[in-house]
A and B are shown apart, each in its own frame.
Chain A
């Protein structure tokens, strides 16, 4: 009798244990680095090879010509290369912004550190654009009050290197006070809204441009800065930017 009872329990237990659902008992976690310690799979490399060759040759496709070399360090408050980048963003992203919002961009602000190489003298290629802008950052537009743009002017004055700007004009006196701060040739009105194109890196806090976030409105144009450059180089057969009067310090 007792034996039989145990047998019944046994069968029930057996039945329960054979339930198809399983019990998770242990988890082992390990995120693995992909590095040079791993051999390359040769079949994969062989597959990639012809594409790589094509990419390399396409990167060397000539888009335009630069009569001379430009560096981001040729100028204290504005540089030819920085002006080109900011003007290219203004010229090519304004139609995108206008088609979405009906509004026009008032100004562009990029960062000195975001220019990653010189513009070499000679042929301008896709590779030139990838060199100047290897990152994936894209154009975003933030709506800032004039009072915030004035904060930005102080930031630009104090920074010491030329952040690329377009649309904004700043004249400093010899004693580093402001002679004038203009947008579209007009004095900035503190309560007016200005549309400022920048890149998502700066908007998200890069270079501590905290003033860019003093807005509830952000438009992501989904237009990469590098693609702006490629489109700009494609549009113009000669790239010869100049240093100008957009941000200067008076001598006396």
Chain B
């Protein structure tokens, strides 16, 4: 296999030499593309930084600082996406007094691209979430919440597509089972669909129909449940599906120093990341794409640094 790739590459380069001027200039994106994914989860209405007496969280977090971090990354790489994995609401008086307006307006100012919905985002009922939508200049995705019979119908898409520097990116959302976690009166007729089945559908649509180069799942399922081995989690989802490159998680407030690398049902690598809670951290993952490497040997998957 390696040898065949070598011969092909040799042939290609010989050919390029032989046709001179035509060479690289005919490509629209001749260089390798870098896509940066920034993400948060479970920010829970934490607008201001923690104070000096707040224990382990002392002097951490704060939206105004997060804005600077995001701005710096975008200045360095305009091909950046900013995502949130849910539980935007509940946790400080800002939510109790303003119902989520401040959170959504600030996320809009920070130019979030897309978010998914966490269980606490239903804390003021599904109407409470709907009421705040005008303050959000970004989209919500959830593929396994069926909102057809609710006020949120048509306001949440299963997935969203982005084209950054010629790289086609598909982002879909997954939410946790609400029954038993959220009052039924709050989530009303929101129907929870099986995350694995939905993720399999989504990754097929995004890979085959939409021809995405990068597929990201923003999930509020939770990282893993040691004491509940049958409960669906991001780690289980990663193993049971294929074609997903990155799962950005939430709900369990799990802080990972770096993403966990799982092996999917095709034997390929998939990253699972989560950055704790309260805006204490921002996840940052750079994906490097090569235009010319279709014939190169990357069967063992990308190099993860």
Contact = CB atoms under 8 A, between A and B. Distances in A.
Interface of A: 3, 6-7, 9-11, 13-14, 16-36, 38-45, 47-48, 51-52, 54-55, 58-59, 126, 130, 136, 218, 220, 222
A15 to B, nearest CB: 10
A136 B44 contact: yes
A206 to B, nearest CB: 14
Contact of B166 (A6, A22, A25, A36): A22
B19 A55 contact: no
Contact of B280 (A23, A34, A220): A34
Contacts of B59: 35-36
Interface string B86-118: 000011011001100010011001100000000
B26 interface: yes
A130 B167 CA distance: 47
Contact of A27 (B69, B123, B182, B285): B285
B201 to A, nearest CB: 20
Contacts of B285: 27-30
Contacts of B12: 9-10, 13-14, 17
27 contacts: A6-B11, A6-B15, A7-B15, A9-B11, A10-B18, A11-B19, A13-B295, A20-B211, A25-B288, A25-B293, A26-B303, A26-B305, A29-B259, A29-B273, A31-B257, A33-B280, A34-B49, A34-B280, A34-B282, A41-B67, A42-B64, A44-B109, A48-B63, A54-B97, A58-B97, A136-B90, A218-B180
A39 B67 CA distance: 9
A22 B286 contact: no
Nearest to A222: B183
Interface in B160-194: 166-168, 180-183, 186
Contact of A31 (B97, B283, B304): B283
Nearest to B60: A35
A33 B59 CA distance: 11
Nearest to A24: B302
Contacts of B64: 40-42, 44-45, 48
Given A29-B304, A39-B68, A24 B182 contact: no
The residue in A24, A39, A44, A136 that gathers the most chain B C-beta atoms within 10 A of its C-beta is: A24
Contacts of A36: 49, 59, 65
A26 B12 CA distance: 23
Contacts of A22: 33, 166-167, 213, 289-291
Contacts of A24: 213-214, 245, 287-289, 298, 302
B68 A48 contact: no
A210 B106 CA distance: 41
A47 B110 CA distance: 12
B258 interface: yes
A23 B305 contact: no
A38 B44 contact: no
Contacts of A11: 15, 19
Contacts of B223: none
B66 A17 contact: no
B294 A25 contact: no
